[in-house]
Structure 1
Amino acid sequence: MVGTAEESSWPPELDDLFARERLERAVKEATLFLRQASRSAAVPSGPAMRDYAEHVGYVIMQAADADLRFAALAALLHHNEDGYPAKMLALSGRRLADALMTSRVPLPDDFDSLVTRYEAAYRRRNQIVHAIRPHGDRDADAERFEMTVRPTPTQPQERVRTMSVASSIETITVEELIEFEFELQLLSNAASQWFQALTEAGLGESSDPGLGTRGDAH
């Protein structure tokens, strides 16, 4: 805890700043507590905003289902005499795509295309979930919050001399969220179909599925 100007080495101006920040934080915490006490005020109250939030939630749920189905498929593809590698079930995104593409099981080109679609969907899911939506009237129309703002440095690890970083602004509508939900469902179904087909072909029953090496398929 920061002491007074006499007790600390901070300049008096900083002590005043910290005191104002503590007061502002206490006010915000009290406001959030009151919203928690009244659940109707703790959640978006406008019908359009609630509809948007609902479909963002559907995207999260569908994406989680796709992650799990593709992870199970990766575990099947990497099965050996020791069984199924449990660590595959914790993978997602690029790491999971790499695992799917590096199995020793020969698979056709359309499987590669499916993995590419999954990885693109994972990136889209992250964009939707982690983007910042501007605050506004909680009963406002959709245009006030259907916007994502993302930092866009030239390079992912770029260092900047100021806190000002260019941002990309994109409007994502409810209709686009619904369309993306269907894409996630299609991916989940495809992963399940591949899992079933490979299982029926005997993969996973022994350390050597008798399907050659992945390189044989291309």
Structure 2
Amino acid sequence: MDDVGLQEVVDALAVRLGRSVAVDDAGMRLLAASRHVGDEDAARVHSVLRREAAAENIRWVLSLGIASWHGPGRIEANPALGADARVCVPVRRHGALLGYLWLIDYGHREFIVRDIVRSETGWWDGNPTTLHPRPPAVAAAARADAITDKQAVLDHAARLRDAGRVQEALHVIDLLALAPGDDPNVVQARKLKSDLCALRRKDAPSYVSRSCYGTSQ
């Protein structure tokens, strides 16, 4: 891919993600950068103006082992170097390192990876059930109605919570918690879900995640 083609890809990806995108070669020289959307930091500005990162920034990120990464990783902020937290996605072909794709972090690397995958593969998750789904409340009510022993769901979610498997407990409790109405078991499920979200919020690695868990309480 020539420089023009790479720039077009970077610009298109930035529009899809709503985030600025930069790509360096394996030597940390800037190959392409999109327009910024208010997320630039001093390190990114230096890189764009000089066409390469500052020497101390290069030493810093390489010391984190990014040259050996085979998947995306999050790099914590380094205020002394003017660098906000960012996500680094190594670009490889047949295992050989070609460069790095960079996004200044707006939450958690999983969010960014999901956005990239969704932008390239579309909205469908591969499950035929989701091709033409019923409204969420209707689907949730149908699932809840199919469960004859709702207390068993509540008890299982509580056991998962007590075992430290909080995310799995959330998956289970949603079998009831998303249903409409004021059935006592559904109300209890919503309360348990709120408690589970509070637990997840304590361990959430990003501000965005903590905020989302907080609104669910």
Q: Who wins on radius of gyration, i.e. which is larger?
A: 1
Give the structure with the larger strand fraction. 2
- Structure with the bigger RCO (C-alpha within 8 Å, sep 6+) is 1
Give the structure with the larger helix fraction. 1
**TM score, norm. by length of structure 1:** 0.21
